[in-house]
Amino acid sequence: MEKNSFARLIAQQLNLQERAVGNTLALLDEGCTIPFISRYRKERTGGLDEVQIAAISNQYKRFKEIQKRKETVLKTIADLDKLTLELEKRINDCWDATELEDIYLPYKPKRRTRAQVAREQGLEPLAKILLLQREHNPERAAEKFIKGDVKDVATAIKGAQDIIAETVSEDERIRQQLRGAFRRQAYITSKVVKAKADTDEAAKYSDYFDWKEPLKRCSSHRLLAMRRGENEGMLRISISPDDDECIERIQRHYVYGNTSCSKLVAEAVEDGYKRLLKPSIETEFAALSKEKADEEAIHVFAENLRQLLLGAPLGQKRVMGIDPGFRTGCKVVCLDAQGNLLHHEAIFPHPPVNKRMESAMAIQKMLQKYQIEAISIGNGTASRETNDFIRDVLAGRYNIPSPSNASSQYEPQIFTVSEDGASIYSASKIARDEFPDEDVTVRGAISIGRRLMDPLAELVKIDPKSIGVGQYQHDVDQTKLKNALDYTVESCVNNVGVNLNTASQHLLMYVSGLGPTLAKNIVDYRKENGAFTARAQLKKVPRLGPSAFQQCAGFLRIPGASNPLDNSAVHPESYYIVEQMAKDQNCAVIDLINNKEKREAIDIKRYVTAEVGIPTLTDILKELEKPGRDPREQIEEFEFDSRVNTIDDLIEGMELSGIVTNITNFGAFVDIGVHQDGLVHISQMANRRIAHPTDVVKLHQHIHVRVIEVDRRRNRISLSMNGLS
């Protein structure tokens, strides 16, 4: 099929302009990445954003898969010598995967069915006689077919009914009709497996021991929970419409009158429905509903991951990272402004060791020696206690005298950061390569410190599934999940931009057009030749050719480069435009950046060409206004309410500050400083109906909540945001 036809189909499905879709497909086929196309090819795409381009890419892949499937279908039917011109046209015109399989079903190679056996016994003519329903005595008609394995009339009639049952199950109209019934009225039912009902393993699925609801209203998290219970052998799940109504509707298509033949056909239809048709459509809807639930869960995970990766960075500051703990102590590291390890040690301020004064003195010494500007504390075990301890040290409550040679007193800010996945990173090959001489506890504390400085640069080193912001992420399609998360990471990295001289290999591999090999080659080149001073030097990196340079250059930054555009999102292919603008204003490029009046004097229409339009020129001017600007928000300090430390301190009606730690379809989990996150159900997030929690909150947002219920037995906290700012 020609690309133009794909473009037309995709444009119709996504309600986009065919020309824009066609140009986007051409760019994708040229090897351009989605971030590059959306940022630097707006003239060709009509200004499509990343989401639209990704949707075009996904549809393109799907249509190509259907095209490949069509070729198999056509060849199989042709080999059977049953491919008519009409059938060939139907297949070629079909772009719905389900419809294609329905067309193919009667010709599809199958295992030896009861109907196939009956056909081999020569009973197909008898089936046709029964379907016509004109024979007054079907038994007498069946006598003519008694031979070989067909020993008697009953066997002959039963075989004919098997053929009718299979015919019904393969009837396209009937299959579509039944799908409509499933869509409208099917219920999903969950029952506990009786042998497992009283086990501890089954207890977590107790809500679904006897559950029934319309399939179309079943939320993704409930469906995934039920399917997990089914996979673990705790639940039995079924999906079914009104069987009697469906059988009656199908019989109307096949049964005429009330003759003996009609009754036999009616029996065959019912058998075909129960034995073949319904199980087939139920399997289809089980897969479709699971696929839809997967998509929702993956979308939630991807959006949470995006918010986490685009979390506010502290920037290049001298940071103390603390991985808190009780029995094993707190692992403390001191990092320079580039994230390099300067020092590490363990302190034991909490029970059972309780060396609080000794620990306070150690903290005070490190703060002064390494001139720490910020402290990053992991949010795991002993986080709240460690936070309180550090605040006491900074407040001078331990009366530790400053050394006579101490420099000016630093008042570092304190931040609590998520430590999800830190243990995964600390044991990974990436961490071993970065810190081969340090143990996993030190590496984990380094990760906690670096996450404060730049969440994106640090979190890309961890498998997104280990970051802890998903919903049933282990139950969804793992290939789709990986693709979605990889795309999210790539999108975030390119949205922010990457410092070419400080980025790790793992961060560079997500830059448009690079990947693991070129990322490694860039780091190796940097080690051998020193820091990059110009983007053009990328062309000297082994295997980084013109195409890769085109895709990556605009997303790589070089602070302090002699050409200020090398630290901006202006693509090298557009440098000549900026240089001409500067020339026309009788100044240097740096003057355009520093002088607002000169920028405002530029008439961008003068620079429009066949290749460069208003969208690109507008982007260039925006970038000159604030080159290399970080799109992320500024980080804010946060402190938990001093009245509460454990779940036992909570009182219904109490208003507290909290941090959003995870967002799901049904609500948001909030850390209020009591070692157990509380849940703000979606119904408690606003005084109006909202479609999704992300309409109200973002990951790591600081919010105010009210305690509405505390279930200490199950360790559950219910919170509300209603009526609070």
Task: Give dist(CA 394, CA 369) in Å, integer.
Answer: 15
Q: pLDDT tens across 184-218, in order?
A: 999 999 999 999 988 989 999 999 999 999 999 99
pLDDT value, residue 403: 58
**DSSP state, residue 542:** T
Q: Tell me the β-bridge partners of 719.
A: 680, 707
User: 125-128 long-range CB contacts below 8 Å, 24 or more apart?
Assistant: 126/156, 126/157, 126/159, 126/160, 127/160, 127/161, 127/163, 127/164, 127/167
Mean pLDDT of the region 57-61: 95
Return the half-sphere exposure (C-beta side, CA atoms, 13 A cut-off) of residue 272: 30
- pLDDT score of 110: 84
Q: pLDDT digits over 398-432, tens only?
A: 888 765 555 545 689 999 998 888 889 999 999 99
Instruction: Compute the distance between CA of residue 636 and CA of residue 265 in angstroms, rounded to an integer.
Output: 74
- Across all residues in the chain, what is the average pLDDT? 93
Least confident of 436-450, 455-469, 643-657, 696-710: 455-469
CA distance 191 to 208: 7
Q: Which amino acid is at 221?
A: H
pLDDT at position 4 is 73
Query: What is the share, in percent, of the chain residues with pLDDT greater than 70?
Result: 98
Cis amide leading into 351 (omega within 30): no
Mean per-residue pLDDT, 73-85: 95
Q: Does pLDDT of 452 surpass 70? A: yes
Phi then psi for residue 574, to 5 deg, are: -110, 5
Residue 38 has pLDDT above 80, yes or no: yes
- What pLDDT sits at residue 352? 95
Quick one: pLDDT band at residue 1, thresholds 50, 70, 90? low
Lowest-confidence region among 73-82, 176-185, 547-556, 695-704: 695-704
> Looking at 312-316, 343-347, 636-640, which range is the least confident one?
636-640
The yes-or-no verdict on residue 725 having pLDDT over 70 is no
**Taking 80 as the threshold, does the pLDDT of residue 3 lie above it?**
no
For residue 2, what pLDDT band results from cuts at 50, 70 and 90?
low
- As a whole number, mean pLDDT of residues 50-60 equals 95
Residue 267 pLDDT exceeds 80: yes
CB-CB contact of 189 with 213 (8 Å): no
Check pLDDT > 50 for residue 227. Answer: yes
Residues contacting residue 126 through CB under 8 Å, at least 6 positions apart: 141, 142, 145, 156, 157, 159, 160
Q: What is the pLDDT of residues 581-592, one digit of tens each?
A: 999 999 999 999
Distances in whole angstroms, Cα of residue 378 to Cα of each of 282, 383, 423, 444, 573: 47, 6, 11, 10, 44
pLDDT digits (tens, 9 = 90+) for 96-142: 999 999 999 999 998 889 999 999 999 999 999 999 999 999 999 99
* Residue type at 534 in one-letter notation: A
- In the sheet with 413-417, reading across from the earlier edge strand, the strands are 341-347, 330-335, 319-323, 374-378, 413-417
Kindly report each contact of residues 210-219 with a partner whose C-beta sits within 8 Å and lies 24 or more positions away, as own/partner: 212/187, 212/188, 213/187, 213/188, 214/185, 214/186, 214/187, 214/188, 215/182, 215/186, 215/187, 215/188, 215/239, 215/285, 215/289, 216/183, 216/184, 216/186, 218/188, 218/289, 219/665, 219/666
Average pLDDT, stretch 380-395? 93
Is-above-0.75 flag for pTM?
Answer: yes
The amino acid at 417: V
Give residue 665's pLDDT band: very low, low, confident or very high (50, 70, 90): confident
Looking from the CA of 298 toward its CB, the CA atoms found within 13 Å total 20
Q: What is the pLDDT of residue 408?
A: 46
pLDDT in tens, 10-35: 999 999 999 999 999 999 999 999 99
